[in-house]
Each structure stands twice: as structure tokens, then as C-alpha cells.
Amino acid sequence: MIARLFGKPKPPGLRRLSPGWLPVWQRNFLVWRKLALPSLLGNLADPLIYMLGLGYGLGRMLPQVSGIDYMQFLVAGMIVASAMNAATFEALYSAFSRMHTQKTWDAILVTPLSLDDILAGELFWAASKSFISGFSILLVISAIGLSSLPLALWILPILFLTGFAFAAIGLIVCALAPSYDFFMYYFTLFITPMLMISGIFFPAEHLPRAIYLVASWLPLSHAVQLVRPLLLGEFPKDIVLHVAFLLGITVAAFRAAVFLTYRRLLN
């Protein structure tokens, strides 16, 4: 569609971010607002089931994990996992629908907005969904006394950062996917193994050393190591390293997503 309307410009690198992303974000927000309650309930259901089943069930059978009750250990992982899942689903299924099935991006491109604006808008919106999901979980665990305020409030910007990282990676997969079925490979080969080895359900240092080294390079591990200490009222160790890693993943992955999306839509 882009090629038919505008010819075949050379796929760009990442340009300076313009305010053009904001109308795209606003459009997605207005659509989501119509189904906000079911969406929030869906985001809450999965982590709450894990918290109840594993935290209260398995947790009562276990000794302390890393010096804390298992429930306290688990809830930090659930916040991060919820943020990751929200950003991932938005950048995959929702963005793919707008790009391929609904042709929403084609309609936006008739306006003065560019494809760069669309992708940036999708990135910011997926990160916003990540924040909403993680914040909802944080409210629940704060209500039952499992967070240490006010230090736990620093988790909020980390939710955005986590959302940006996984949204950017998701947009790469969206650009490569021929159909919705393709996303199952991403979940099976990347998301699910990462969920298992990144310190969500048990300390990652208990893994074999080779797997632990792999886990230390995964974005979910860095997000967990930022969130868990804050939830317990402590400052994370190596905070600059973890934040820099997530920022680096976001920038690199988004650059790749821009290039691959241009290449896909120009062919």
C-alpha cells in the first residue's frame, strides 16, 4: 500500500522522534477505552491465579526463598511478567491487526503522519498498556500488604521501561510475521523459556551456570532485578546497568523494527 501511494523510498534508520506519535497513541487509547474493564480484568486474572495458586498454595509448603517468604518473592515476578505480557500482546496481535487485517495503518498514512509516527505511537501505546497492567497488580499487592511504600512507587517508571523493551522486540516480530500463527513460535521459543529462567518463580542463580549466563542477558531478568528489591523496600544493586540494558534493548530493537516494517510494506 505504501509503495503504491508514495513510491519506494529507501527504508530509513531511526529518525528523531516527532510529536506525530501522539495522535496514534490517542487513537489506540480511545479504542481501548471502550473495552477497558474487560481488558483490565484479563490482565489481572492470569497473575492473580499464579499468586493464589503458587503463592498461597505452594508457598506454604516452602521455606523462605532468598531470605523472604515465597509469596513476597513471587509477586515481584508477577508484576514484571504482567507488564511483559501486556506489551508483547499489544505489539504482536493488536499491532498486526492494525497493520495487516484492519488496514488501519494504511488509513493513517493518508494523513500527514508517517510510518515512523505510527511505529512510535504503537511503541508508546504498548508501553502504556504495560504500565496499566503492572500498576493494577501493584495496587492489588499493596492492598494486601505485600509492597513497601513509598519506595515501591519507583516501580512505576520501570514498568514503562519494561514495556518499551518488550514492545520494541514485539514490533520486530510483527514486521516479520506472515500470519497470526507465527506468533506462537515467538511465545514458545522466546517468551515462555525466558519466563522460566529469569527469576520469576525461583532464583535464577539456582540454574545450571550456562543457563544462568543466558538468563543474565535477557531483558526480563534485568526488570526483575530492579523491581524485586524496590518491592521489599531496598534499592536495587547495579541499577544503572539494568536500566542501561533495557534502554539499549529498546533503542536497538526499535531501530530494527522500523527498518523491517519499511522493508515489509514497501515490497
pLDDT tens for the chain, 267 residues: list them. Answer: 444 444 444 444 445 667 889 999 999 999 999 888 887 787 777 777 877 778 777 777 778 888 888 888 999 999 999 999 999 999 999 999 999 999 999 999 999 999 999 999 999 999 999 999 999 899 888 888 888 888 889 999 999 999 999 999 999 999 999 999 999 999 999 999 999 999 999 899 989 999 999 999 999 999 999 999 999 889 999 999 999 999 999 999 999 999 999 999 876
Task: Provide the angle, in degrees to the nearest 10, between the axes of the packed helices 70-89 and 115-143.
Answer: 160
Contact present, 166 and 219 (Cβ < 8 Å): yes
| Contact by Cβ (8 Å): 80, 72 | no
Q: Which DSSP symbol is given to 205?
A: G
Angle between helices 219-231 and 155-176 (to 10 degrees): 160
Cell of 240: 544503572
Rounded Cα gap, residues 118 and 30, in angstroms: 16
Contact between 87 and 166 (Cβ < 8 Å) = yes
As a whole number of angstroms, the distance between CA 4 and CA 8 comes to 8
CA atoms within 13 A on the CB side of 189: 6
The residue to which cell 494504511 is assigned? 106
Q: Which triple of cell numbers denotes residue 184?
A: 506462537
Query: What pLDDT, on the 0 to 100 scale, is given for residue 52?
Result: 77
Phi, psi dihedral angles at 169 (to 5 degrees): -65, -40
